Each structure stands twice: as C-alpha cells, then as structure tokens.
C-alpha cells in the first residue's frame, strides 16, 4: 500500500510539474503574442501615418494647383474686362461731354470756336 501511495505522490508531483511547465509555456506564448501584436500595431500605425501624410501633401498640392489655375483664369478674364471697361469709359466720357456741351449751348449744337 505504501508503494501505491508513493506512486500516487510521484504522479501528483509529476502532474504539478507538467501544469507548472504548461503555465510557463502559456505565459511565454502570451508574451510573444503581445509583443508581435504591438509590432504589428506599430507597423500599421506607421503605415497609416505615412499614408495620411501623403494624402495631406497631395491635397495641399492639388489645392495649390487649383488656386494657381483660379488666379490664372481671373487674370485672363480681368485683362479683357479692363480693356472693355476702358472702351466703355471713353464712350461714356464722350457722351457726357456732348450732353454738357448741349446743355451749355441751350440745346443748340455747339460750333467749333
């Protein structure tokens, strides 16, 4: 009977060792998994950061190009508008001069003096 008890105690001790080894191995596996997960997350965060920076750079460049194009179009359209406004201004001045001259001569056509 003492052999049986010794054998049970040996088996129990062996089982405790196996359980302890399993816990240690599980702890190592969990630590490795956490470390790998952190590495993956760090890599993903860096990739996302790089992509975001590229998107921002691209959008800024696009906005600058659109601004330059808008300025170019505004410059082109204002050049023609200035010339037209000058022509209209000259005609308006001529008409005003005629009206004033007409009023000063009491409605009579003015004669060159």
pLDDT digits 0-9 by tens, 70-100: 888 877 776 555 555 777 888 888 888 888 8
Within a domain: residue 88?
no
Count of the separate structural domains present in the chain: 1
**How is residue 1 annotated by DSSP?**
-
For residues 81 and 59, which has the higher predicted lDDT (pLDDT)?
Answer: 59
Residue 92 is assigned to a structural domain of this protein = no
Three-state DSSP state, 75: helix
Per the domain annotation, does 44 fall within a domain?
A: yes
104, pLDDT greater than 90: no
Q: Is residue 33 part of a domain?
A: yes
In SS3 terms, 19-73 reads as HHHHHHHHHHHHHHHHHHHHHHHHHHHHHHHHHHHHHHHHHHHHHHHHHHHHHHH
Measured in degrees and rounded to the nearest 5, phi and psi for residue 55 equal: -65, -45
- Structural domain including 68 reads 1-81
* Residue 19, in any domain of the structure: yes
CA distance 57 to 44: 20
Q: Is residue 107, in this structure, part of any structural domain at all?
A: no
- Taking 80 as the threshold, does the pLDDT of residue 57 lie above it? yes
65, part of any domain: yes
- In a domain? residue 39: yes
| Average pLDDT of every residue of the chain | 85
């Amino acid at each position: 009977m003492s052999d049986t008890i010794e054998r049970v105690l040996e088996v129990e001790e062996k089982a405790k060792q196996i359980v302890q080894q399993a816990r240690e191995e599980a702890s190592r596996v969990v630590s490795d998994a956490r470390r790998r997960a952190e590495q993956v997350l760090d890599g993903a965060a860096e990739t996302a950061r790089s992509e975001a920076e590229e998107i921002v750079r691209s959008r800024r460049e696009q906005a600058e190009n659109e601004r330059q194009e808008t300025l170019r179009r505004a410059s082109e359209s204002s050049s023609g508008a200035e010339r037209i406004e000058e022509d209209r201004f000259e005609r308006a001045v001529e008409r005003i001069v005629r009206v004033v001259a007409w009023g000063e001569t009491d409605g009579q056509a003015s004669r060159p003096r």
